[in-house]
Structure 1
Amino acid sequence: MSAPGDRRNGRGAAKMVGVAIAAFAFTFSLVPMYRIACEKVFGIRVEQSAIGGDRTAALEARKSDRVITVQFDGGVNSKLPWSFRPEQTSMQVRPGQQYDTMFYARNDGERAIVGNAVPSIAPARASGYFSKTECFCFTAQTLAAGEARDMPVRFIVAPDLPDNVNTITLSYTFFKNNELTAQLEAPSGSAVGSRAAP
């Protein structure tokens, strides 16, 4: 004959199992309840995951097949005696992939000059989707008299570029860096060259 305590323990265990089963069933019922609430109460149609997965795959496939044109342009400020131009004027690219291009610069002056390139993106709404991962514009460029140099640019166009943007123009303008150029021209030990001395 079982003791009253054993019967209470058995009933307690049965209650715990019942609560666990009820919680498990409630969890599974949340998905259809959520769908009913969205569709009936708020009027939002919830697609089944298989259909949603197919739509996502189709969207990704469309984006991977998308090709846009990137145009390149280059110029110099009138105070900088350099020649500067892109080595190719346009390129067909797929968003999400990395590409390289080159610009050509030559110092046509009679002395070494330091220049800084300022980039711009057109149309302006595409600027947030165009990333330069390597660019000569990140640092000042020094060219000796008559020196020529190829300057690389590495870039990526973001996959979520708006559909109505099919052409992006990357443009650079080089400006003379007067302060750094003056330091190049200053004789050793002059006021400009020794300005940082204590």
Structure 2
Amino acid sequence: MAMICISITFSMLGLSYAAVPLYKIFCQITGYGGTIQRAEEKSKFVSDQRIRVRFDANVSHDLGWKFIPKSRSVSIKLGQISKAIYEARNVTDKVSYGTASFNVSPQAAGIYFNKLECFCFTQQRLSAGESMDMPVVFFVDPEILNDPLLKRTKTITLSYTFFLDKNFKKKTS
């Protein structure tokens, strides 16, 4: 009986450590929680149907950056590749490091929103007063029209939030 209890305890401990990576994989596969898909190539089909993609930008209060999309929205054909530019500016008097996370709403659209190029989850360094343009290249899969929950969706919002990267590692050139 003691061996069974010890086995269950260690199994539960192992599952608790595996929960975060397993959840991340689940979200990437299903698009759950607005997780965007990472595409290696462009869409094979471009529809005449259009969708509006709205851009949102947020910054954690402790970062000291201004972060804005250069354009608030774009109207694109489904399957058409588009590029959005965000601008980040360090408004402090010292070097700081930030990392961005993202999401899409409505959340169910995450599986159809495909990024070809993105700055998210990559450490960004800005010197005092420095600004940087950050591009996002994406397309919305025309398969969204076959999803009964989303086929009438007219707007998708892509939202980024920058956080202070307290565990920065200086990049070597």
- How would you bin the TM-score normalised by the shorter chain? 0.5 to 0.7
Q: Does 1:163 align with 2:151?
A: yes
- AA aligned to 1:91 is V
Q: Flag structure 1 segments of 5+ consecutive residues without an equivalent.
A: 1-60, 185-198
Measure the CA separation in 2 of the matches of 1:106 and 1:64: 37
Given the alignment of the two structures, is residue 84 of structure 1 paired with residue 67 of structure 2, yes or no? yes
SS at match of 1:64: coil
What stretches of structure 1 move > 4 A for 4+ residues in a row? Answer: none
Select 1:121's aligned residue among 77, 91, 104: 104
- CA–CA distance in structure 1, aligned partners of residues 139 and 51 of structure 2: 12
Q: Percent identity?
A: 42
Q: Could you state the TM-score of these two structures normalised by the residue count of structure 1? A: 0.59
Unaligned 5+ segments in structure 2 are 1-44, 145-149
Which residue is 1:102 aligned to? 85
Q: What SS does the aligned partner of 1:137 have?
A: coil
Shift of 1:71: 0.1
| Structure with higher strand content | 2
Higher helix share: 1
Secondary structure at 1:126 match in 2: helix
Write the mapping of 1:1-198 to structure 2, written as runs, cut at 5 A. 64-161=47-144, 162-180=150-168
Amino acid at match of 2:166: N
- Give the structure-2-normalised TM-score: 0.67
Aligned residues: 121
Structure with the larger RCO, 1 or 2 (CA within 8 Å, 6+ apart):
2
- In the alignment, the residues of structure 2 paired with residue 108 and residue 172 of structure 1 have an alpha-carbon distance, to the nearest angstrom, of 19
Question: Which structure would you say has the larger Rg?
Answer: 1
